[in-house]
Amino acid sequence: MIANSGLTPLEYLLSVMRTSGDEGARIDAAKAAAPYVHPKLANVELSGNKDQPLQIEIVRYADTPAK
């Protein structure tokens, strides 16, 4: 069915989400399509030497002169 329509799987899921009359099908399609449109954020662990303080340098690129 999808192969004959010429749609990619994501396009098909989005069309079901937008046009299906069955709310359950729309929700399932939205859940399946979401990772392709809105990737999950990754957890990042900050680590370093426990005997040295964390140093943060803030750089504002708009304030740096052009080369």
Q: What is the pLDDT of residues 19-61, one digit of tens each?
A: 988 899 999 999 999 998 888 888 888 777 888 887 888 888 7
User: Is residue 3 one of the residues assigned to a domain?
Assistant: yes
Dist. CA 12–CA 17, nearest whole Å: 9
Could you give the number of structural domains in the chain? 1
Q: Which position has the higher pLDDT, 5 or 40?
A: 40
Does the pTM exceed 0.85?
Answer: no
User: Is residue 47 one of the residues assigned to a domain?
Assistant: no
Domain interval for residue 6? 1-42
User: Is residue 52 one of the residues assigned to a domain?
Assistant: no
Residue type for position 54 = L
> 14: part of which helix (H) or strand (E)?
helix 9-19
DSSP conformation class of 46: -
